[in-house]
């Protein structure tokens, strides 16, 4: 029974810490209730009796008012202690004493020359040796905590329950375990402070907190270099011998031929067939030989633009030409140089013959397997093979490759695909290192540096930050713009009507006719078409010298530019917005996965991996990289004559805003991703597009240089 009470004592202390100096305080009672309910799973009746016994100090254990339980309660006991700890009567001291023992003990500790002191119950002061924790817990059982016990418990290792407590990360707004918050001492001091303060309030010493922060997140790399929680270990063996790798691709050739009649390439030339030496012993699932042949012999139209047209089993997602590119790279990476040359040349020769015999198919969009994708495959294959030799050592062998499907990857020996797969991996390789160890290597594939990270809208901002400020809330922006347009036209209705009727108002009359909207209907202002008529009227009047209309247009220009500027700044300055943006782009630009060693990216002829990342950013630490992201908002372009530049419509020409990276050592900022924030339907649409693309002038060139520095010239 005493063990049970010890559990209550320990868990209560962990929950409320030094607050337990006042066990009847609101915070202490709330903590006790939580322990009894969540940790000990007691019934509500029992919890009520325990709490009431502490809060009200009953003289007997009563189930109902006026009805005794029959349990004897000593003069120095509560009803709970009488039931759970019947021998407390023999101990001296009141378990409900209200004297601040911690304060009293502090005073006694100041006595010099080892002078003995007495506690309030008359017991001798405990010696400095012995089981102080047990004694301290005994005092907690009596609703008090001395300074001696507090200091002793502070020195104990941090309880696992404390480390698993979830607190709000002030940077992201997400709930993180205390252990996670402590691991952000350098990367996110505000989050670290939350975890540190929490443990400090629980009585944990600064030394113990520091030890935990030093040890957190320093996981040992797995055999493939990955540092993280997923299990990347592989069952040893040759996947090509498995049933999955030997599986035929359904439907069979006859059924597919019937399915593909409307989409098959014209003949001549004869349908494409892979070289015999490639077909014999592939290191990848043989079903993809059939899939690639079918793609090479099909035009991308109708149903033939989807993977499901070529196969009845699941496959990758995306455009069909990109899928063919992924398959060619996955297959080609497993081949010897001689095999790959035969493979790629056979595809190029077939394409050439197809165009020569059928000039109408010269346009690249009329074919699935094209020269540009074949050339991209060559480049990606080289980048991948150069990188694995450097990473794992000379003599490294690719023993199997696979596409990103559950059946393929688990056949390679990875357990629990859904849990352990890479986030944005397109192809997997089973690699045998020079020491014989077999490891998983995961690659995200991009055809070239022209990568589109994000094609979204400002509506995503609310997903990233639920408490979005009005200055970047497109709903607020739209409501203000619509009201402004309506007010101007209403207040200047006769002038607007006269303008529309004039020769100069012809563009507005045509617009109203095409939209089927009259000016009266437009003044309702509750649709995109109606607002289009209103703002176009204002814009045309401004163009023709109306100063009041020009003033409205200037307001719209300023508000639009300010929205774009604030949006770009918020992506970096608002922690929740930054976290949301990085989460949304990680499928196309998985920086964290690269930093952790989980994946690498083959971007055309370049490899983005830990080594090239170090060259580009000066670090491969994702947390440091994230902290050094900066925003450059749009600015009006200035011409050679020193004057602002405008486009043909009189709109100011603006520079492209970008997300950049600030190099710590030099302070230099270079662009990583170009951003486009613009209203879809300027002046009347009220919805903003938000797009991010890899910067070509700066980041792409730095990636190319890093590739040369790490892996040599092409």
pLDDT tens string 557-596: 999 989 998 998 898 888 889 888 888 888 788 999 999 9
Confidence of residue 19 (pLDDT cuts 50, 70, 90): low
- Mean pLDDT over all residues of the chain? 83
Other C-beta atoms closer than 10 Å to the C-beta of 60 total 13
Crossing angle of helices 506-515 and 528-543, in 10° steps, is: 170
- Kindly give the interhelix angle for 493-501 and 506-515, rounded to the nearest 10 degrees: 100
Give the integer Cα–Cα distance in Å for 495 and 428: 68
Q: Which residue has the higher pLDDT, 104 or 256?
A: 256
Instruction: Write down which residue in 436, 464, 481 finishes a domain.
Output: 436
Per residue in 89-111, pLDDT (tens digit) is 333 333 333 333 333 333 444 44
CA distances to 26, 119, 272, 381 from 373, rounded to whole Å, are 68, 84, 16, 12
Does the predicted TM-score (pTM) go above 0.85? no
Tell me how many domains the chain contains: 4
d(CA 312, CA 252) in angstroms, rounded, equals 10
567 and 635 belong to one structural domain: yes
Q: Are the CB atoms for 614 and 625 separated by under 8 Å?
A: no
468 and 416 in a common domain: no
CB neighbour burial string for 638-671, b if at least 16 within 10 angstroms, e if fewer: eeeeeeeeeeeeeeeebeebbbbbeeeeeeeebb
Neighbours of 338 (CB within 10 A): 9
Which string of b and e fits 123-148 if b means at least 16 CB within 10 Å?
eebbeeeeebeeebbbbbbbbbbbbb
- Overall average pLDDT of the 331-349 stretch: 96
Is 379 contained in some domain?
A: yes
Q: How far apart are the C-alpha atoms of 11 and 7, rounded to whole Å?
A: 6
Q: Is residue 640 part of a domain?
A: yes
Please tell me the total number of residues recorded for the chain in this structure: 714
User: What value does the mean pLDDT take over residues 272-292?
Assistant: 92
**Domain co-membership, 489 together with 636:** yes
The reply to whether 182 and 36 lie within a common domain is no
Residue 222 falls within a domain, yes or no? no
pLDDT higher at 584 or 13 = 584
Domain span at residue 392?
A: 239-436
143-171 confidence digits (pLDDT tens): 444 444 444 444 445 666 788 788 988 88
Region of residue 206 (phi > 0: left; psi between -120 and 50: alpha; otherwise: beta):
alpha
What pLDDT sits at residue 211? 73
Domain contains 705: yes
User: From CA 295, how far away is CA 272, in angstroms rounded?
Assistant: 9
CA dist., res. 393 & res. 20, Å (int): 59
Phi-psi sector, 642: left (phi>0), alpha (psi -120 to 50), beta: left
- 402 with 471, same domain: the answer is no
262 occurs within a structural domain: yes
Q: In terms of domains, do 259 and 127 share one? A: no
Distance, in Å, from the CA atom of 58 to the CA atom of 608, rounded to the nearest integer, reads 70
Question: Is the link from the previous residue into 269 a cis peptide, with omega within 30 of 0?
Answer: yes
Confidence of residue 553 (pLDDT cuts 50, 70, 90): very high
Measure the CA–CA gap between 158 and 167, rounded to whole angstroms.
Answer: 16
Per the structure block, which two tokens stand in for 693?
């693309």
Q: Is the domain of 94 the same as that of 172?
A: no
Mean pLDDT of 101-130: 40
pLDDT at 501: 95
Q: Give the DSSP per-residue string, 545-581.
A: T-HHHHHHHHHHHHHHHHHHHHHHHHHHHSHHHHHHH
Q: Determine the Cα–Cα distance for residues 284 and 401; give it in Å rounded to an integer.
A: 5
DSSP 81-127: HHHH-GGGGGS-S-TT--S-HHHHHHHHHT--TT---B-TTSPBPPP
Q: Residue 470: pLDDT above 50? A: yes
Distance CA 522, CA 516 (A): 10
HSE-up of 465 (CA within 13 Å, CB side)? 23
Residue 223 in any domain: the answer is: no
Shared-domain flag, residues 428 and 468 = no
In a domain, 61, yes or no: yes
**DSSP conformation class of 322:** H
User: Which are the contacts of 214, defined by CB distance < 8 A and separation ≥ 6?
Assistant: none
Instruction: Indicate whether 423 and 483 sit together in one domain.
Output: no
Q: Are residues 275 and 307 in the same domain?
A: yes
Q: What is the pLDDT of residue 132?
A: 47
What are 264's strand-pairing partners?
A: 298
Q: Which of 136, 154, 172 delimits the end of a domain?
A: 154
* 221 found inside a domain: no
In which order are the strands placed within the sheet that holds 606-608? Answer: 397-403, 427-432, 438-446, 600-603, 606-608
* β-sheet bridge partners, residue 440: 430
Q: Specify the pLDDT at position 366.
A: 96
390 and 276 in one domain? Answer: yes
Same domain, 481 and 625: yes
Domain-ending residue, one of 436, 465, 498? 436
Give the Cα separation of 288 and 286 in Å (integer): 5
């Amino acid at each position: 029974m005493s063990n049970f009470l010890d559990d209550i004592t320990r868990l209560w202390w962990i929950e409320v810490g030094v607050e337990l100096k006042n066990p009847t305080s609101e915070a202490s009672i709330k903590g006790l209730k939580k322990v009894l309910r969540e940790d000990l799973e007691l019934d509500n009746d029992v919890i009520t009796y325990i709490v009431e016994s502490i809060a009200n100090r009953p003289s007997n254990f009563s189930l109902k008012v006026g009805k005794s339980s029959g349990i004897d309660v000593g003069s120095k006991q509560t009803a709970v202690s009488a039931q759970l700890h019947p021998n407390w009567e023999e101990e001296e001291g009141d378990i409900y004493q209200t004297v601040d023992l911690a304060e009293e003990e502090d005073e006694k500790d100041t006595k010099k020359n080892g002078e003995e002191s007495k506690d309030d119950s008359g017991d001798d002061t405990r010696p400095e040796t012995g089981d102080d924790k047990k004694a301290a817990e005994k005092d907690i059982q009596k609703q008090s905590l001395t300074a001696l016990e507090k200091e002793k418990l502070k020195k104990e290792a941090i309880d696992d329950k404390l480390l698993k407590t979830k607190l709000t990360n002030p940077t992201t707004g997400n709930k993180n375990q205390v252990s996670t918050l402590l691991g952000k001492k350098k990367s996110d001091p505000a989050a670290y402070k939350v975890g540190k303060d929490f443990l400090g309030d629980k009585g944990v010493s600064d030394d113990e907190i520091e030890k935990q922060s030093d040890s957190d997140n320093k996981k040992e790399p797995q055999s493939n270099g990955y540092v993280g929680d997923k299990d990347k270990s592989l069952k040893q063996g040759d996947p090509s011998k498995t049933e999955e790798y030997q599986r035929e691709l359904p439907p069979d050739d006859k059924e597919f031929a019937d399915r593909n009649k409307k989409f098959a390439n014209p003949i001549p030339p004869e349908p494409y067939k892979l070289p015999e030496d490639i077909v014999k012993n592939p290191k990848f699932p043989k079903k993809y030989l059939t899939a690639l042949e079918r793609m090479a012999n099909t035009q991308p139209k109708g149903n033939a633009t989807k993977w499901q047209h070529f196969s009845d089993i699941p496959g990758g997602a995306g455009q069909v030409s990109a899928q063919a590119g992924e398959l060619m790279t996955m297959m080609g990476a497993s081949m010897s140089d001689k095999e790959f040359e035969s493979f790629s040349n056979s595809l190029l020769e077939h394409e050439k013959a197809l165009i020569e015999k059928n000039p109408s198919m010269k346009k690249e969009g009329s074919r699935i397997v094209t020269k540009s994708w074949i050339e991209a495959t060559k480049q990606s294959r080289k980048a991948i093979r150069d990188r694995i030799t450097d990473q794992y050592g000379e003599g490294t062998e690719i023993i199997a490759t696979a596409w990103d499907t559950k059946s393929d990857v688990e056949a390679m020996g990875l357990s629990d695909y859904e849990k352990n797969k890479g986030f944005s991996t397109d192809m997997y390789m089973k690699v045998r290192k020079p020491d014989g160890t077999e490891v998983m290597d995961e690659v995200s594939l991009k055809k070239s540096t022209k990568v589109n990270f994000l094609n979204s809208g400002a509506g995503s901002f609310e997903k990233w930050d639920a408490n979005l400020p009005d200055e970047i809330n497109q709903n607020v922006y739209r409501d203000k713009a619509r009201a402004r347009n309506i007010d101007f036209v209403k207040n200047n209705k006769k002038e607007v009507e006269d303008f529309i009727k004039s020769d100069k108002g012809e563009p507005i009359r045509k617009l109203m006719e095409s939209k089927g909207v009259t000016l009266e209907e437009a003044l309702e202002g509750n649709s995109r078409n109606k607002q289009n008529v209103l703002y176009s009227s204002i814009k045309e009047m401004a163009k023709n010298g109306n100063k009041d209309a020009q003033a409205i247009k200037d307001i719209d220009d300023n508000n639009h530019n300010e929205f774009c500027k604030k949006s770009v700044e918020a992506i970096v300055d608002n922690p929740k917005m930054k976290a949301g943006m990085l989460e949304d782009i990680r499928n196309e630009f998985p920086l964290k996965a690269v930093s952790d060693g989980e994946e690498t990216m083959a971007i055309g002829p370049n490899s983005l991996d830990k080594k090239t990342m170090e060259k580009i950013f000066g670090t491969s630490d994702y947390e440091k990289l994230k902290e050094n992201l900066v925003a450059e908002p749009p600015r009006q372009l200035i011409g050679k004559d020193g004057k602002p530049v405008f486009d043909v419509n009189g709109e100011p020409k603006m520079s492209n805003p970008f997300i950049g990276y600030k190099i710590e050592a030099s302070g230099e900022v270079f662009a990583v991703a170009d951003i486009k924030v613009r209203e879809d339907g300027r002046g009347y649409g009220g919805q903003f597009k938000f797009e991010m693309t890899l910067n070509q002038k700066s980041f792409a060139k730095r990636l190319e240089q890093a590739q040369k520095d790490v892996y040599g010239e092409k």
